[in-house]
Structure 1
Amino acid sequence: LMGLVMKELRGKADGALVSAILKKEIQDIL
């Protein structure tokens, strides 16, 4: 169970990181 929770949290953290990087890339382009 803990492994599942950690995996989900890590997935959300990675998603947030990817979103932040994409936003930064888009701002650099514009």
Structure 2
Amino acid sequence: SFKREKKLLERSPPPPPNDGRPPAFLGSEHSYDL
């Protein structure tokens, strides 16, 4: 299961720079109504 976790981490997109704006790839998965 550890290998699968590693694969999931490698496939996920890198964290966006913390510039205060929501990244586009998150879409409606997370809502940024601030």
Place the TM-score, normalised by the shorter chain, in its bin: 0.3 to 0.5
Q: Which has the higher helix share?
A: 1
TM-score, normalised via structure 2 length: 0.36
Calculate the TM-score normalised by the size of structure 1.
0.39
| Larger relative contact order, structure 1 or 2 (CA cutoff 8 Å, min sep 6) | 2
